[in-house]
Chains A and B, each alone.
Chain A
Amino acid sequence: MSDALIIRRLSKAYVPGKPVLHDIDVEIAAEGVIAIIGPSGTGKSTLIRCINRLVEPSSGEILFDGKDLARVSGVALRHARRQIGMVFQEYNLVERLTVMENLLCGRLGYVAPWRAWRRKFPPADIERALALLDTVGLAGFANRRADALSGGQRQRVGIARAVMQQPRLMLADEPTSSLDPKTSVEIMELLAGVARSHRIPVLINMHDVALARRFADRILGMSGGRIVFDGPPQGLSDTMLKQIYGGEDWLH
């Protein structure tokens, strides 16, 4: 099965001379949950955001769908982005719009602005949105305003919005960091479910190692801007974790 995403020698320095990412090389296969773990400031979020160019890489290649994402711009970039769904830590919903409208935002890359403004989305999209609401457990919420929802509900909408794009790749930047433990598990189950049912890779940035072990098919451990571990959860030993995170107290 061909790789969906190939990253070669990706580097990023916000301040010249102090790189946050050092020559990252990673190949993402076509299906499953990939968790990226590591201490704060180690570049996890930067890596994720470089993929869909919310952050500009300093150097390197990001090959996706036959194009180098690090180099495309303009319409080509938008077309690439609409194939990549993203879930955010702070949900990033448009608060004043309804749940349905937020879901349809996932189709904005496919619908002309004039039609989108007048809310003339294709019927297939609306139907898909309603079905998705059922899947994420928010049936009947279509006309609720986004700011009337709880954190967990908002993240479900966020996931549904990303899935609405019918993406070939999903990114999630600390999707559970703002949620309580029980809701976090529910969200991770949703994300794992999306990976299975849509057969796409889901790249999740997270700091909860236990969650990562439970749900990921593959774990990338980062430390100091480099990938120091790449393998299945079972291969993640305590020694390795200590190397990634440093210190021992938090392990027990």
Chain B
Amino acid sequence: MSAQGTPAIAAYRFPASRAAQITFALLAVYVVYALTQLDVSLERVQQGMAHAGRFLGRMIPPNFARSELLWSGLAESLQIAVLASALGIVLALPFGLLGARNLMPAWVSWPARLVVVLARSFHPVVVAILFVKAVGFGALAGILALTVASIGFIGKLFTEAIEEVSIKEVEAVRATGAPFTSVLAFGVLPQVFSRFIGFATYQLDSNLRNSTMVGIVGAGGIGGTLFAAFQRFDYDFVSAILISIIALIMAGEVLATAVRRIFIDNATLRQLFRGGTPVHRPLDDD
């Protein structure tokens, strides 16, 4: 250690650490403030932990005795998810296409985009409540609510995908003298197709999750059964329902991955079953 080295060391600052320190300090202050606002005290948490123990005790072992009720609820949720996704995709495609600023004039694209934004802004449960009022209790309200949610999600991503197509490829097809639909089919659609499969399967997955809970507000599916079980303190039935839901959604994820690999990676069934490294696809940003 030489004396002339010391000033250099004292002056040495690691660049990013300052900003990081300030951010963390601010976050810490916010957390303390928010906790007081929410009236979260240590004793409440401790009381809760004791409760949690008893709660978990009553959930185990899970009670699958009322299997008919369970199955019909799950089946209804599945139906809601399937139909909402199908209807949602069918309706989202035109809205998405109409909202693409590179293909459509402004007076067409802005209203279409507005519809899509509105469809996205409200939580599916809130939309479900409104539909329950309009069409009554039952699966129809759930289907319509999730259809709206699907239009919001798929419509936005589809518009983005279309706006991001490379115009050069479209021009090339147009230069061959192809009619408009062929330009779409050979120039635009191949570029957006794989992304479309990606978010269509994501939405199916999302609808499956949501369909398990719109029943809480009366829109059909296993959510209603779950809510009723909670209110009757049938916690062992609750855990049975939860396990079934988790299993259903895991199955849905596997199916979604399979669809992606078949349509995007052109895998064969044998390749699917053999497994191998899963292809990573970045989640399309909402």
Q: Which A residues have a C-beta under 8 Å from some C-beta of B?
A: 98, 100-101, 119, 123-124, 126-127, 130-131, 142-143
Contacts and interface: CB of A to CB of B under 8 A. Distances in A.
Contacts of A101: 14
B33 interface: no
A127 B15 contact: no
A127 B2 contact: yes
A127 B14 contact: no
A123 B8 CA distance: 10
B17 interface: yes
B15 A123 contact: no
B180 interface: no
Contacts of B15: 98, 143
- B interface, over-half SS: helix
B283 interface: no
A124 B12 contact: no
Interface string B1-38: 11001101100101101000000000000000000000
A55 B17 CA distance: 36
A100 B12 contact: yes
Most chain A Cβ neighbours within 10 Å, of B1, B6, B12, B15: B12
Interface in B53-94: none
Contacts of B17: 119
A143 B16 CA distance: 10
Nearest to B16: A98
Nearest to A130: B8
A135 to B, nearest CB: 14
Nearest to A120: B14
Nearest to B10: A123
Contacts of A127: 1-2, 5, 8-9
A123 B9 contact: yes
A130 B7 CA distance: 12
Contacts of A98: 14-15
25 contacts: A98-B14, A98-B15, A100-B12, A100-B14, A101-B14, A119-B14, A119-B17, A123-B1, A123-B6, A123-B9, A124-B1, A126-B8, A126-B9, A126-B12, A127-B1, A127-B2, A127-B5, A127-B8, A127-B9, A130-B5, A130-B8, A130-B12, A131-B5, A142-B12, A143-B15
Contacts of B8: 126-127, 130
